[in-house]
Amino acid sequence: MAATHSEYRGYLRNTVDIEAGQHRFHPVQSSEPTYRPLLFGTLAVMGLLQVASSVAILLHLTGYLQEVDLSTAPHRPIEEVQTEPVLNALRDTKKNRRCKTKESLPSAHLPIKGHQDFSKKGDPKAITIDWDEEHGTCQRMVYQKGKLLVIESGFYYVYAKTCFRYYTHGGPEDSSQAGIPPVDISNTQLIQYVYHESFRQNNKAVVLMKTGSTMRWNITSYNMYCAQQGRGVRLEDGDALFVNVSNAWMLDPEGEGTYFGAIKLGN
């Protein structure tokens, strides 16, 4: 019985010792979480200090640059110092974007000359049209007596347009009111010719373009027809261009409808 009691006391002692041994390790386990917040806090403080130092350096440099800009113009208003560089930049941009135009190319555009006396009514023979140099343009080309003269060799685009009109009753071309016998327009040929006169071939004129139509104008009170054409051609210095039309007395005298011109495209 005594052995049994001593064994029981030993069992109790061993149990207490084991529990006491377990309590000795608790401080070691609870100490790990305390280092982590301290480490994170240290890193956060270092990051804030680095950001603050960067901002301070930036502010210092900015203030230094402003002082340098203001020191260069001590007697000028602040508004002028701030706006003048912008205005100068805009001026420089306009100068850089300005187109570098070449010298004007040889060209001409001539409207028809009004009040021309085409007395041979009904005569289908083609005659040369006179053009209005005063209200037209000629650049490095010359106009003389219905002809457009070339003074610079090259490849040109030549164009011409002629409009014909006729009033059967009551219009300005109505011949019955003036006591003139009416003209038979039942089979009228309205043809436009553009001629090229070559200086190197003894001023021989050849047809460069031709267009037109045969009109029957005997029904309505007002009739109109327009012929237009254009093409490129090689022209030499001294060559000439001119336009002939049949039944020229029917030409529309307005320059918006009847005109003639040329422009150089290249060498």
| pLDDT the model gives residue 25 | 45
Contact (Cβ atoms closer than 8 angstroms) between residue 156 and residue 235? yes
**pLDDT tens, the chain, 267 aa long:** 445 555 545 544 555 454 554 444 444 454 455 567 777 777 777 877 777 777 667 666 655 445 444 445 455 444 443 445 444 544 544 444 343 345 689 999 999 998 787 766 656 688 999 999 999 999 999 999 999 999 999 999 999 999 998 876 555 555 444 555 566 676 788 999 999 999 988 888 999 999 998 877 766 677 889 999 999 999 999 999 999 999 898 899 899 999 999 999 999
Q: How many domains does the chain have?
A: 2
Distance CA 243, CA 251 (A): 13
| Residue 201 and residue 76 in one domain | no
| Residue 80 and residue 123 in one domain | no
| pLDDT the model gives residue 9 | 54
| Residue 154 and residue 192 in one domain | yes
Contact (Cβ atoms closer than 8 angstroms) between residue 266 and residue 105? no
Contact (Cβ atoms closer than 8 angstroms) between residue 227 and residue 233? no
Given 49, 68, 97, the domain boundary residue is 97
Given 52, 70, 97, the domain boundary residue is 97
* Residue found by looking up tokens 């267009």 in the block: 211
Write out the residue range of the structural domain in which residue 223 sits.
107-266
226 within a domain of the structure (yes/no) = yes
Q: Calculate Rg over the CA atoms of the chain.
A: 51
Whole-prediction pTM value?
Answer: 0.57
How far, CA to CA in Å, does 127 sit from each of 173, 192, 228?
A: 19, 10, 17
Q: H or E stretch including 60? A: helix 32-72
| pLDDT the model gives residue 89 | 45
- SS3 (DSSP) at 146: coil
| Residue 178 and residue 215 in one domain | yes
| Residue 188 and residue 254 in one domain | yes
| Residue 92 and residue 168 in one domain | no
Structural tokens at position 244: 């002939």
| pLDDT the model gives residue 134 | 92
Total length of the chain:
267
What lies within 8 Å, CB to CB, of 234 at 6+ separation is: 154, 155, 156
Cα atoms found within 13 Å of the Cα of residue 29, Cβ hemisphere only? 5
| Residue 136 and residue 241 in one domain | yes
4 within a domain of the structure (yes/no) = no
Distance CA 263, CA 141 (A): 9
| pLDDT the model gives residue 114 | 84
- Strand order through the sheet with 259-266: 137-139, 107-111, 259-266, 154-167, 222-235
Q: What is the CATH number of the domain that holds 243?
A: 2.60.120.40
- SS3 (DSSP) at 121: coil
| pLDDT the model gives residue 180 | 56
| Residue 53 and residue 163 in one domain | no
Distance CA 121, CA 52 (A): 101
9 within a domain of the structure (yes/no) = no
Given 49, 74, 97, the domain boundary residue is 97
